[in-house]
Amino acid sequence: MTSLSKESLRVSEIFYSLQGEARDSGLPTVFVRLTGCPLRCTYCDSEYAFYGGERMALQQILERVQSHPAHHICVTGGEPLAQPNCLPLLQALCDEDYSVTLETSGAMPVGGVDSRVSRVVDLKTPASGEQHRNRMENLQVLTRHDQVKFVICNREDYGWAKFTLDQYRLSERVGEVLFSPSYKQLEGRQLAEWILEDGLPVRLQLQLHKILWGDIPGV
């Protein structure tokens, strides 16, 4: 029996849709959403993934992914790195020549993630209620292949994100810095105006999947 047959993960859902966020926005993508998260952000849109799910061998996950016609794979959560077997899953997906992104809160160490994976690290802002969980040391291992995201709820969050952008020279360190308005808390137009006013070297991110289908799971 191979290690992929022995090792397993608890999976909330696997589905095929358009990527709604980050650098690959708009591309057909298979999403592997793992169960569990140690954080409780005020604006979380995937609370249903905190519990439950189905225990699946890594080989089963690969087979489910391969049943969909997509080259891009996104491993997300919850917090996917809360399950140690997320790392061999990421490696196996890369070995199958998929283009792989990992959506992580940044509250877990990211240094062990396969270098072929684009790590999308979500730095938690003050209004998230989980700012204290940020592992800022993660930023030291990120490269131009990676991305950093800020979900911004209000002007205070924007000011904090702007300061952090400058303090860690993020636009020079990573490939994309994403400023995203928190859904139904901050208008995208307002955030766009702040970015333009300050001339920030960031990308405004609107959640494409919510614009197309609304705030529902599995799309």
Residue 46 has pLDDT above 70, yes or no: yes
Residues 198, 201, 202, 203, Cα dihedral to 10°: 100
Structure confidence at residue 43 (pLDDT): 87
Backbone angles phi, psi at 122, to 5 degrees: -95, 100
Structure confidence at residue 184 (pLDDT): 86
Structure confidence at residue 57 (pLDDT): 97
Q: Please check whether residue 54 is in contact with residue 178, taking contact to mean a CB–CB distance below 8 angstroms.
A: no
Confidence of residue 114 (pLDDT cuts 50, 70, 90): very high
Confidence of residue 219 (pLDDT cuts 50, 70, 90): low
Structure confidence at residue 217 (pLDDT): 74
Helices (H) and strands (E) in the chain, counts: 7, 9
Structure confidence at residue 215 (pLDDT): 74
Rounded distance between C-alpha atoms, residue 102 and residue 50, angstroms: 17
Residue 3 has pLDDT above 80, yes or no: no
Encode pLDDT of 158-209 as tens digits.
999 999 999 999 999 999 999 999 988 999 999 999 999 999 999 999 999 8
Query: What would the two tokens of residue 125 be?
Result: 């802002």
Structure confidence at residue 1 (pLDDT): 39
Encode pLDDT of 120-158 as tens digits.
999 999 999 999 999 999 999 999 999 999 999 999 999
Structure confidence at residue 65 (pLDDT): 98
Structure confidence at residue 6 (pLDDT): 82
For residue 123, count CB atoms less than 10 angstroms from its CB and return exposed for 0-12, middle for 13-18, buried for 19 or more: buried
Structure confidence at residue 213 (pLDDT): 86
Question: How much is the mean pLDDT over the chain?
Answer: 94
Q: Please check whether residue 179 is in contact with residue 200, taking contact to mean a CB–CB distance below 8 angstroms.
A: yes
For residue 35, count CB atoms less than 10 angstroms from its CB and return exposed for 0-12, middle for 13-18, buried for 19 or more: buried
The mean per-residue pLDDT over the stretch 39-53 comes to 86
Encode pLDDT of 94-113 as tens digits.
999 999 999 999 899 999 99
